[in-house]
Amino acid sequence: YQVIAAASIAERKSEHPLAKAIIAHAADFAVPTEEPDEFFYTPGKGVRASSRGEEILVGSKALLLEHGVKCANPLVGESADGASQVYVARAGRLLGSIRIADVLRPEAKQAVAAMRQMGVRTVLLSGDTQGATIGVGRELGVDEMVGELLPEQKASWVKDLRRKGRKVAMVGDGINDAPALVEADVGIAMGSGTDVARESADIILIGNDLSKFVETLRVARRCRGIIMQNFVGTLAVDSVGVGMAAFGLLNPLLAAIIHVVSELAFILNSTRLLPSRSQARH
């Protein structure tokens, strides 16, 4: 009870998904709501708050060690089941830890599989422990999983991928994702994410459905393909017209017919991007 009570006070003002889970769990235990006197957030590590003159730390082991809290407690061990481990300390003393397991969104696995079929390489960058990141990544079916990353390290990963000539689309929803969203070729924030993430992104998806991102990618690729078809078609028609004119085979009437017919063909080709009736209803 003391662990949940202290954690709920410190996380009261946080927008992190783990904080929301802790607050919800505290409500299930009927823990009294209490606002912290002070609140400080360290990206990638956790939060520090004060209540009734006592300092409360909630976050990684690194955060507690920075503030002189010893974590050598036999009752508090590392999570072995892939869950995220959140340590809680109050007044310089370790109270315990909270294990929070990630629950995959229903559409997440199908979305990742669809991206792989489209030839898109997927990388999971997380601030959680390596064990938790690998567990979630394997269940999702992503190509590469990297955990225990600070926000600047996520951004560095994106920079390295771009330096290798890769085109990078970063999808995120938290404060820790903001630097990487800025560094990516295209930063995509989920509509349910934090304000900082939405402000850092180039594109905001409504809601939190990952399948919407897959559909957006499909539409973008199809749109680019049709644009290239029309562009190449225009060059081909113009080249034929110039050649015919050079040999005296093109009169004004035939030129007008070729122009009108080709333009109509390109317009009809572009109408393939219009949504079907079923898509329009959605």
pLDDT score of 281: 53
DSSP state, 191? T
58-74 pLDDT, tens digit per residue, is: 988 888 888 888 876 54
101-126 pLDDT, tens digit per residue, is: 777 888 899 999 999 999 999 999 98
pLDDT score of 17: 75
pLDDT score of 282: 54
pLDDT score of 198: 84
Q: What is the spatial distance between Cα 243 and Cα 119, in angstroms, rounded to a whole number? A: 40
- Average pLDDT (79-88) is 70
CB 4 within 8 Å of CB 98:
yes
pLDDT score of 84: 72
Q: Any residues with CB less than 8 A from the CB of 110 and at least 6 apart, and which?
A: 211
pLDDT score of 20: 82
223-268 pLDDT, tens digit per residue, is: 999 999 999 999 999 999 999 999 888 899 999 999 999 999 999 9
| DSSP-assigned letters across all residues of 122-186 | -EEE-SS-HHHHHHHHHHHT-SEEE-S--HHHHHHHHHHHHHTT---EEEE-SGGGHHHHHHSSE
Exposure b/e, 256-273, CB count within 10 A at least 16 = b: eebeeebeeebeeeeeee
Q: Which residue has the higher pLDDT, 263 or 30?
A: 263
DSSP state, 235? H
Query: Could you tell me where the DSSP H helices lie in 29-150?
Result: 61-66, 108-117, 130-140
**192-197 LR contacts (CB < 8 Å, sep 24+):** 194/15, 195/15, 197/172, 197/173
Q: How would you list the strands of the sheet with 203-205, edge to edge?
A: 169-172, 186-190, 203-205
Amino acid at 203: I
181-201 pLDDT, tens digit per residue, is: 999 999 998 877 677 888 888
pLDDT score of 78: 52
Residue with tokens 């929803």: 173
What 3-state DSSP class applies to 73? coil
pLDDT score of 75: 45
pLDDT score of 74: 46
User: 221, 213, 119, 203: which is closest to 166 by C-alpha?
Assistant: 119
Cross-strand partners of 56: 49, 90
Q: Measure the CA angle with vertex 148, ends 142 and 151; round to 5°.
A: 95
CB 58 within 8 Å of CB 46:
yes
By the 10 Å C-beta count (0-12 exposed, 13-18 middle, 19+ buried), 163 is classed as exposed
139-178 pLDDT, tens digit per residue, is: 899 999 998 898 899 999 999 999 999 999 999 887 888 9
